[in-house]
Amino acid sequence: MDLTTFLIQCLNAFQYGLLLFLVASGLTLIFGIMGVINLAHGSFYMIGAYLAYALAPVVASAIGGGFFATLLVGVVLSVVFGYLLEWAFYSYLYERDHLQQVLMTYGLILVFEELRSLLVGDNVYSVEIPQVLAGSIPLSEVMTYPTYRLFVSAICLVLVGAMFWVFARTRLGMMIRAGASNREMVQSLGIDISFLYRVVFAAGFALAAFAGMVAAPVSTVYPGMGGEVLIICFVVVVIGGIGSIQGALVAALLIGFVDTFGKVLVPGAAGVMVYLAMALILLWKPDGLFKAG
């Protein structure tokens, strides 16, 4: 491998890692901070991707269209949907044990998949890359890099910054962190914890759906797409340390590098490299890299 190829592979790894963080960030909120084992997280991602596909013609006929307008409408819809979902289902789960959480969220996966099948069908669809970002940048004499992928990386970086800022610097972030460590105490201090959690859940849902929408043009939209990201999301959150945002970021980047260089260096065993890395890290640090609290 020459230097150019190595550098391009590093860019691939970095870019994939950021994309993983984007997808896993919602799970960090819901599983890591609120403590609900949410198997339906992959479905939230899938819903986002299908929103990007299905909303585009609707938005186009209503307000003239455009990828970014679709994105905005999609985020607003998913915040509302996430809020309702928490009110209807997830709010009953906080006090329950993990088995019941797993059962209900698994049930939701089946429901969402069937709804998807009924409403949109079982075909594979692609979502157009917005015109302004459709180009690509030459990297070597034969290889080019799609601009849209760089744009996705930029979005991820902005999101990383925003999440850190909210959690470390704002009052809302402080309340969420306090609620995560002691729910009753926060409640007795006069903070409406149920409402707060509803908001956090809606944000987690919206993050996953947003990730699905942003990833749709590069990943295509297909049945079962949620199941595939779910596992890798859990790997990221567990390696990073439950409840830690910087942990999730470091873990996502690490997985990006392990996966990319696994495919390059040991093509025959690329599939197990990620899980091997997870096993080794958990042997070394059973609580993950950055255990919160």
Q: How far is the CB of 26 from other proteins (least distance, A)?
A: 19
Give the contacts of 129 (CB within 8 A, at least 6 positions apart): 67, 146, 148, 217, 218
Nearer to other proteins, 149 or 183 (CB): 149
Q: Which range, of 40-48, 86-94, 137-145, 237-245, touches other proteins by CB under 8 A?
A: 137-145
Nearer to other proteins, 86 or 259 (CB): 259
C-alpha count within 13 angstroms, C-beta hemisphere, residue 16:
16
Q: Which range, of 32-40, 188-196, 202-210, 223-231, touches other proteins by CB under 8 A?
A: 223-231
Nearer to other proteins, 155 or 218 (CB): 218
Q: Does 140 bind other proteins (CB under 8 A)?
A: yes
Query: How many residues sit in the footprint of other proteins (CB under 8 A)?
Result: 44
Contact, 33 vs 175, CB < 8 A? no
- The binder of other proteins chosen from 114, 181, 276, 285 (CB under 8 A): 114
Closest residue by Cα to residue 11 from 152, 132, 183, 127: 152
Nearer to other proteins, 35 or 227 (CB): 227
Nearer to other proteins, 148 or 167 (CB): 148
Q: Does 57 bind other proteins (CB under 8 A)?
A: no
78-104 burial, b for 16+ CB within 10 Å, e for fewer? bbebbbebbeeebeebeeeeeeebeeb
Q: Does 170 bind other proteins (CB under 8 A)?
A: no
- For 147, other C-beta atoms within 10 Å of its C-beta total 16
Q: Does 107 bind other proteins (CB under 8 A)?
A: no
| Alpha carbons 13 and 257: distance in angstroms, whole number | 5
| Alpha carbons 137 and 243: distance in angstroms, whole number | 37
Contact, 51 vs 112, CB < 8 A? no
Q: Does 293 bind other proteins (CB under 8 A)?
A: no
Q: Does 5 bind other proteins (CB under 8 A)?
A: yes
Q: Does 286 bind other proteins (CB under 8 A)?
A: no
- The binder of other proteins chosen from 271, 279, 280, 285 (CB under 8 A): 271
Nearer to other proteins, 1 or 62 (CB): 1
| Alpha carbons 214 and 209: distance in angstroms, whole number | 9
Q: Does 138 bind other proteins (CB under 8 A)?
A: yes
Identify the three-state secondary structure at position 125.
Answer: strand
Q: List for the chain the helix, strand, coil content (%; round to 5).
A: 75, 5, 20
Q: Does 263 bind other proteins (CB under 8 A)?
A: yes
Give the contacts of 52 (CB within 8 A, at least 6 positions apart): 70, 71, 74, 127, 212, 213, 216, 217, 221
Q: Does 2 bind other proteins (CB under 8 A)?
A: yes
Contact, 282 vs 288, CB < 8 A? yes
- The binder of other proteins chosen from 68, 107, 115, 126 (CB under 8 A): 126
Which tokens sit at 10?
């590093």
Q: Does 260 bind other proteins (CB under 8 A)?
A: yes
Residues that bind other proteins (CB under 8 A): 1-2, 5, 8-9, 12-13, 15-16, 113-114, 117, 121-126, 136, 138, 140, 142-146, 149, 218-220, 222-225, 228, 259-261, 263-264, 267-268, 270-271
